[in-house]
Structure 1
C-alpha cells in the first residue's frame, strides 16, 4: 500500500492522534497534506482542534486528580512548570487561551492548570476556543508552507518527496524543542 493510500484511508485519525501526541509538527504536516489534496483542509483543521482539545483536557483532568501528590508537586517546582504557574496566577484567562501557543509550555500547562483552583468549566470553555484557533492556525500555516514548497520547487509528484522535506523539518523542530527544554531545566 502506498503512502498516499494510507493517508487517504487513515489520514484524519492520524492527524487527530498527531495533534494529541506531537502538536505543531503534526499540524504543519497535516496542513501540507491538505495542500497536496490528500485531505480536505476544513477536516484537517477540525481533526487538529479535536486532537489538541482531547489531549489538553486529559492532561487537565490528570492534573486535577493527581495535582496534590508529592511527585506532581515536585514536578511543578521545576522551572518550566514554575513559569507556567506564575503566568497563570498573573493573567489566568489570557494564560488559559494562550498557553498552547507558547513554546515549551504546551504540555506542562494543562497539568498545572488542573492542579490549580481554576474552575473546570472555565478551562473547558477556554480549551474549546483555544484548540479551535490552534487547529485553524497551524493547519493554515502547513497549507501555506505546502504552497510555498510547490512554488519554489514545482509540484511534488510522489509522497516520498514530501517525506524528504518533512523529516528534516520535523528534526529541526524537535531539536529546537529539545534545546528550549534543556535551556529551561
Structure 2
C-alpha cells in the first residue's frame, strides 16, 4: 500500500523528471509497475514522451548557444561530443531519430546536434518522432517483460519488490560502468594529446638546433 500511495502521489512526476534527464531505467520501472496495475501504461508512455522530448529540446538549444562551453566542462563530454559531431555530419537525420536508443548518448548527442547547426524546425519534428517511438517501444517492452515474468514465476506480486530492486540495481550498474568507461577513455585521450604535444615540442627543439 505504501508503494501504491507513493506512485499515486509522485509516480508520474518522477517519471517525467527521470525521462527529462536520462530515462531508460525509470521508464522500464514504470512499464513494469504499469503491468502490476500501479500505473497506467498509456499515461506512462505519454509522460515519458513529454519528459524525453522536453529534455532533449532543452539540451539542443543549449548546444546551439553554448555547445562548446558545455562540452569543454568535462573531458569525457568533449571527447564524446567530438565523436557525436562526426556521426551527425555523416547521417544527421538518422541520429536525431535514433540517439535515444544508444545508451550513454542521451545528454551529449542533443548538445552536439545543436552545435552542428542542425535546423531547429527539423529537429523539433524528428526529435518528437524519435521520442514517441522510444517511449512507446521501451514502455511496451517493460510491460511485456512483466507479462513474461508472470508466466515464469506465477504470482509476481510476491516478487515485485525484488524485481523492482533488481531493475534499479541493473540501471545503477550500467550507469557506473558507463562512467568508468568514459573516464578511462578521457584519460587515454588526454595522455595521447599530451604525448602528441611533447612530440611537436621535441621536433621544434631539434629543428632549432
Work out whether the TM-score is over 0.5: yes
Q: If each structure's helix is expressed as a fraction of its own residues, which one has the higher value?
A: 2
User: 2:165 matched to which residue of 1?
Assistant: 167
Unaligned runs of 5+ in 2: 186-209
User: 1:30 matched to which residue of 2?
Assistant: 30
User: 1:16 matched to which residue of 2?
Assistant: 16
RMSD between aligned alpha carbons?
A: 2.0
CA spacing shift, 1:90–1:40, aligned 2, 3 Å: same
Unaligned runs of 5+ in 1: none
User: 2:177 matched to which residue of 1?
Assistant: 179
- Normalising by structure 2, we get a TM-score of 0.79
- Cα distance in 2 for partners of 1:175, 1:15 equals 20
- Cα distance in 2 for partners of 1:87, 1:163 equals 40
- Is the contact between residue 72 and residue 78 of structure 2 (CA under 8 Å) also seen in structure 1? no
Between Structure 1 and Structure 2, whose CA radius of gyration is higher?
2
User: 1:57 matched to which residue of 2?
Assistant: 57
Q: How far off is 1:26 after superposition?
A: 0.5
Q: How far off is 1:68 after superposition?
A: 4.3
- Is the contact between residue 22 and residue 107 of structure 2 (CA under 8 Å) also seen in structure 1? no
CA spacing shift, 1:21–1:67, aligned 2, 3 Å: closer
Q: How far off is 1:181 after superposition?
A: 4.2
- Cα distance in 1 for partners of 2:72, 2:116 equals 11
For residues 60-71 of structure 1, what are the structure 2 equivalents within 5 Å?
60-69=60-69
- Cα distance in 1 for partners of 2:73, 2:3 equals 44
User: 2:199 matched to which residue of 1?
Assistant: none
- Cα distance in 2 for partners of 1:109, 1:22 equals 12
State the SS of the aligned residue for 2:106.
Answer: coil
